[in-house]
Structure 1
Amino acid sequence: MKGGSGGGMSGSSISIINFVRARIENIKQQLEGVLPTTGNMTMIGEGGKSN
């Protein structure tokens, strides 16, 4: 995303498409009971970034 203010995507090492795909998979696993719905931290730090 170029220009504008509040661009949280600039400098991100993961594309929005890949993030959405990973998020959909995460939600599917929660609905199937594979992952817990509370305290689920699997989406934190996607793409090797943290804090």
Structure 2
Amino acid sequence: MTNSFHGISIGTERFGDDIYLTLKPTGKLTHEDYVVITPIIESALKAV
């Protein structure tokens, strides 16, 4: 039996006036995953 992991790492960095968003998906993400992830990304962007 094998375990499969899927998810996404989200990071933001600011350099002066520039903001960089890093997304690192792992495994096979479903539409439902993106439905959950979208508000997290929006919240991260509002915080910077």
TM-score by length of 2: 0.36
Larger helix percent: 1
TM-score normalized by the length of structure 1:
0.34
